[in-house]
Structure 1
Amino acid sequence: MTDLTLELNINSASDLEYVNHITKMNVYAVVTLLGDKKIQKVKTAVDRHGGSNPNWNHAVKFAVNERLAREGRLTLVVGLFSGRVLGDKDIGKVEIPLVYLLPSTNGNSNGHGMKFVTYQVRTPSERMKGSLTFSYRFNGVAAIFGPVHQQGPTSWAPPPSQNGYGPYPYMSQPPPQTGYGYEGPPQYRKNEERLAKADLLVSAVSLLR
């Protein structure tokens, strides 16, 4: 399988849990790609001004094994920490199986192929507090998976079709039509034949009356 390059830009976080009781938080992120034999890890710069709403705009690149990514064996982890003299404090983290980002179809494009996504931050006490925003793309993904198709906006919905079926999520297409309504296993066709004969019998009795 081909090796891909994952390009990330760790943009910002917002409404993080304030873990410093007295001093202002100096927040940085540690970005790790787990699941391969060689763990890849990058640390962003420290934001000394944003507090619980830090900004970094830190660019990161990881080599990605396509086979492991497609098998769901790679995980992107972004840990958030507050730098302190007496020891850094864990704020929380975001964990994303890389298969959910590959191929790149989520978020909104910035015009350069990067997709913006926002994930909730899980604190060490397993609460959801704050969010992390980053953008990403995979170099070589178009050649492997074909053209990337953008998702429609969340308010978008396809027009209704005449038969009640259509390109709606989780709705399957109707089975092929035949003379007995649909083509299924033999036992279903026999049941429909019996029902059709019963209807004819009822109609004949009604006429005799």
Structure 2
Amino acid sequence: MTDLTLELNINSASDLEYVNHITKMNVYAVITLLGDKKTQKVKTAVDRYGGSNPNWNHAVRFAVNERLAREGRLTLVVRLFISRFLGDKDVGKVEVPLVYLFPSANGNSNGHGMKFVTYQVRTPSERMKGSLTFSYRFNGAAVISRPVHQQGPTSWAPPSQHGYGPYPYMSQPPPPTGYGYQGPPQYTKNDERLAKADLLVSAVSLIH
């Protein structure tokens, strides 16, 4: 099937878990496309100024197998690390099934076909802490529809804001509650007798 090109711009992260207790955090990202025979991986530059709010604006391109993408077998993984003299340290990661980034998904365009999304970062201890923002677009094929019934894996972190991500179902609104609400009206037998009497009086009045 036709190959696609996924263009990414890894913009920034914010409010990351501060794992350096003495020195400032120098954070970089490793972007990987998993699921194909040939794993594709790119590393950003190290941000030495942002601390727990790094900025990269790093452009990335990946070749995407359309068949594997349609089958939901490709996953975009962004891992965040701290660059340290005694060994780099893992800060967290974002995992997104590629099928959820297809053009039918939500997102805000920047006027050049790029869509911006923000995802929560999952720390090594499996907590949600901080967020990652990137923009993307697909080139090389017609629009591919994302199946709304498909569920993301448990390791996938849903977007943290703006409502991005697959939410195909909405629950019914709850019944009204609160002060002064007494539920639907209840009718007694006495109410029914009074209603019948009113109808009888109305009928007699019409005859006269």
CA deviations on 1:50-108 (whole Å, 9 max, x unpaired) are 00000000000000000000100000000000000000010000000001112353210
Checking the alignment, whether the CA contact within 8 Å between 1:104 and 1:138 is kept in structure 2 is no
Using the aligned pairs only, state the percent identity. Answer: 88
1:23-42 mapped onto 2 (5 Å cutoff): 23-42=23-42
1:138 corresponds to which residue?
Answer: 138
Q: CA–CA distance in 2 between the matches of 1:55 and 1:80? A: 12
Aligned length: 150
Checking the alignment, whether the CA contact within 8 Å between 1:28 and 1:81 is kept in structure 2 is yes
1:155-174 mapped onto 2 (5 Å cutoff): 170=169
- What SS does structure 2 have at the residue aligned with 1:24? coil
Q: CA–CA distance in 1 between the matches of 2:143 and 2:84? A: 45
> Partner amino acid for 1:35?
G
Q: CA–CA distance in 2 between the matches of 1:49 and 1:145? A: 39
Q: CA–CA distance in 1 between the matches of 2:143 and 2:109? A: 20
Checking the alignment, whether the CA contact within 8 Å between 1:104 and 1:137 is kept in structure 2 is no
1:50 corresponds to which residue?
Answer: 50
**TM-score of the two chains, using structure 2 as the length reference:** 0.69
Q: CA–CA distance in 2 between the matches of 1:67 and 1:133? A: 27
Checking the alignment, whether the CA contact within 8 Å between 2:10 and 2:59 is kept in structure 1 is yes
Structure 1 consecutive aligned stretches of length 4 or more whose deviation exceeds 3 Å: none
Checking the alignment, whether the CA contact within 8 Å between 1:107 and 1:116 is kept in structure 2 is yes
Give the RMSD, CA atoms, in angstroms.
1.8
2:100 corresponds to which residue?
Answer: 100
2:87 corresponds to which residue?
Answer: 87
Matched, 1:120 2:81: no
The unaligned stretches of length 5 or more in structure 1 are: 147-153, 156-168, 172-209
> Partner amino acid for 1:112?
H
Call closer, same or farther: CA 1:54–1:170 in 2, change over 3 Å: closer
